[in-house]
Structure 1
Amino acid sequence: MAQASKRKRTAVDRGGTTTLKGKYAVPALDKTFDVIELLASTPGGATMNEIATRLGRSMGELFRIVIAMESRGLLQKSPETDRYTVAYKFLELALRATPAQDLTRTAAPAMQLLVNQIKQSCHLVVPNGGEGLVVYRQENPDMRGFMVRVGASVNLARSCSGRVILAFSDDQQRDRMLQLAERLLRTRINRTELDQQLARVRARGYEQCASPITHGVTDISYPIFGFYGNLMAALTVPFLELLDGSQKVGLDAARKYLERAAQSVSTALGHHESLKKSSRKRA
């Protein structure tokens, strides 16, 4: 009886949650989750020494755990600051393991409805290091149209989708993405000019501009938000204007349909403005 009682005993860990003691405790796994939870709540990342200090553990206890997670692509280390951050692979695994929260599955019905309404294609872009990445698309059901392939990379500073991603990301995330983008492009980005562009995007809630790549296409893009108001993706329509008068939905009407679609996807992901405000207060 005493042994069974001991197994059921609980204790409060450093994060304020309860963990089972006895044969169910797995110290290495506990430390792994401690590191993940710490970095998940530290957008700017932390060095190995900072991780150990904040968790109240020694470097020796955590070193192999952190290196193992980095080698599996779960953590990424900045070569400039030696700071570790949670890698995009966590989101990839989470999306595969939890279909209800799968961004593409959640967005698919709204995107299908959108293309049927406006007779234009649309695509979903997520932040991916120093670029945007097209992870899903719906094609124009009509005979003619313009589309972007899944897997295509998107320039964050120059593209419509990229500026939406940058404009609605928090300051730390935006700065990190721009640092990675500059390293990738091997050139400096005019931050003053870009900041002015992003301020305009935030003010109107979307971006609309002539395609920097294709003549005759106007890109329109709206943000997709997650549960706490965090930027998840940009939903974009590359609007191709036809010259033969057969187009039934114009640019302005298409933008309104796109806005409703983006709001629908955000709502399906659990986004609500009140949750966004409460998360800001906690921060």
Structure 2
Amino acid sequence: MNTDIQPKSPGYSVQPVVRALTVLRYIAAGNRCRKISHAAKATGVNRTTLIRILATLEAERIIEALPDEGGYRLGTGLISLAAEALNDRGIVPTARPVLCQLVDQLKLSAHLGVREGHEIVYLARETPVSHLASTVREGTRLPAHATTIGRILLAELSRADLQALYADYPLEAYTTKTRTSLAALVDQLAEDRSRGVSWSVANFEAEIGSAAAPVYNHRGEAVAAINVTGHAGIFTEGTEQAAAIEAALKSAAQQISEALGYRGWAADQM
């Protein structure tokens, strides 16, 4: 008989572990535990227990003492564990189930892409059961300046980096809406960055609408972006449908980013 237990509810919680994690999160938030009585009150952990927890975490290199300043910070042992966890979470396997959820929710095609120089490369695609499903394949390359995934990733670059990237590179027009001058592109990217998504109503391809949001890693770097595509009419701005697309897209990008270790969303809300 299999006696292994797979705990799935709070009833299986081990309180000493819960208290240790509470202390660890307290330190991770920037609290150094310099005053034990204050830290005990803030964490709800008994003073004597807190001292023992700190000693144990330090011995295991999960935290380390700050000899000059006093108190503690996260240690190399924890950083190593985090690095191993992040390495095990490749961006494609992490993003794919979220893209599937996005397709189910919006009934639009969803993609994951990265930027390589002047182009974007599609890494994953999920589509609804529809004759309007995307025909873009994984591995497809498209111009960054004219696509939503490309624009939202270019929006992360500084003005100097953009100028260096496109100094001797022509901005080809794909529709009448495509930005073909660096000045016009810079203005468009500023709007994308401010909004948190890039939006297209037939900007790249006639009758096709699209919107993209960035995906961040644990260092706060925009390492990829996701988008949804469909008939241009669905992306008419100012409608409830467009608002629902934008909200769902941002939520999906946040979900993937957090799975990759990004915590900037919480910082932005503080």
Q: Same fold (TM over 0.5)?
A: yes
From 194, 198, 206, the counterpart of 1:203: 194
Q: Name the counterpart of 1:152.
A: 140
**Hey, what's the Cα distance between the residues in 2 that align with 1:224 and 1:184?**
25
Residue 197 of structure 1: SS of its match in structure 2?
helix
Instruction: Give the letter aligned to residue 251 of structure 1.
Output: A
Letter in 2 for 1:197: Q
> How far is 1:125 from its partner?
1.3
Following the alignment from structure 1 to structure 2, what is the Cα–Cα distance between the partners of residues 145 and 127?
A: 23
Distance 1:116 1:275 in 2: 27
What displacement does 1:240 show?
2.1
Q: Kindly indicate whether residue 105 of structure 2 is the aligned counterpart of residue 117 of structure 1.
A: yes
**Structure 1 residue 239, shift from structure 2 partner:** 2.4
Give yes or no for the alignment of 1:194 onto 2:182: no
Q: Which residue is 1:214 aligned to?
A: 205
C-alpha displacement of 1:176: 4.9
Identity %: 25
Please point out which of 245, 258, 263 is paired with 1:272: 263
Distance in 1 of aligned mates of 2:133 and 2:233? 9
What is the CA–CA distance in structure 1 between the aligned matches of 2:219 and 2:225, rounded to whole Å?
Answer: 16
Tell me which residue corresponds to 1:127: 115
Aligned counterpart in structure 2 of residue 140 of structure 1, from 128, 133, 148? 128
Task: Go from structure 1 to structure 2 and tell me whether the alpha carbon gap of 1:174 and 1:125 turns closer, same or farther (over 3 Å shift).
Answer: farther
Structure 1 residues without counterparts, runs of 5 or longer = 1-97, 244-248, 278-283
Q: Which amino acid counterpart does residue 118 of structure 2 have in structure 1?
A: G
In structure 2, relative to structure 1, the CA distance for the partners of 1:118 and 1:130 (3 Å cut) is same
Match of residue 247 from structure 2: 256
Distance 1:183 1:216 in 2: 25
Shift of 1:224: 0.6
**C-alpha separation between the residues in 1 aligned to 2:107 and 2:97?**
15
Secondary structure, aligned partner of 1:162: helix
CA contact (8 A) 1:224 1:263 kept: yes
The count of aligned residue pairs is 172
**Residues 117 and 242 from structure 1, CA distance in 2 versus in 1: closer, same or farther, beyond 3 angstroms?**
same
1:106 maps to: 94
Q: C-alpha separation between the residues in 2 aligned to 1:239 and 1:179?
A: 33
1:171 shift after superposition: 5.3
Q: TM-score, normalising length from structure 2?
A: 0.56
**Within 1, Cα distance between the matches of 2:265 and 2:253?**
18
What TM-score, normalized to structure 1?
A: 0.53
Is 1:100–1:106's contact at 8 Å kept on the other side of the alignment?
A: no
Aligned partner (choices 154, 162, 172) of residue 166 of structure 1: 154
Once the two structures are superposed, residues 199-243 of structure 1 have per-residue CA deviations (whole angstroms, 9 ceiling, x without a partner) of: 111111111112334322211010111111111111111122679
Distance (whole Å) between structure 2 residues aligned to residue 147 and residue 208 of structure 1: 20
Q: Distance in 2 between matches of 1:176 and 1:218?
A: 29
Deviation at residue 276 of structure 1 after TM alignment:
8.4
* Bigger radius of gyration among the two: 2
**Whole-angstrom distance in 1 between the partners of 2:197 and 2:131:** 28
Matched residue type, 1:130: H
CA RMSD of aligned residues (A): 3.1
Q: Which amino acid aligns with 2:122?
A: V
Counterpart of 2:96 in structure 1: which amino acid?
Answer: A
* Native 8 Å contact 1:146 1:240 kept in 2: no
Residues 140-186 of structure 1 show CA distances to partners (whole Å, capped at 9, x for unaligned) of: 13454234221211211122211111002355654554358x1797x
Distance (Å, rounded) in 2 between the aligned partners of 1:210 and 1:158: 12
1:179 and 1:135 mapped to 2: Cα distance?
Answer: 28
* Deviations 1:24-68, CA, capped at 9 Å, x for gaps: xxxxxxxxxxxxxxxxxxxxxxxxxxxxxxxxxxxxxxxxxxxxx
* 1:178 matched residue in structure 2: 166
**Shift of residue 111 of structure 1?**
0.6
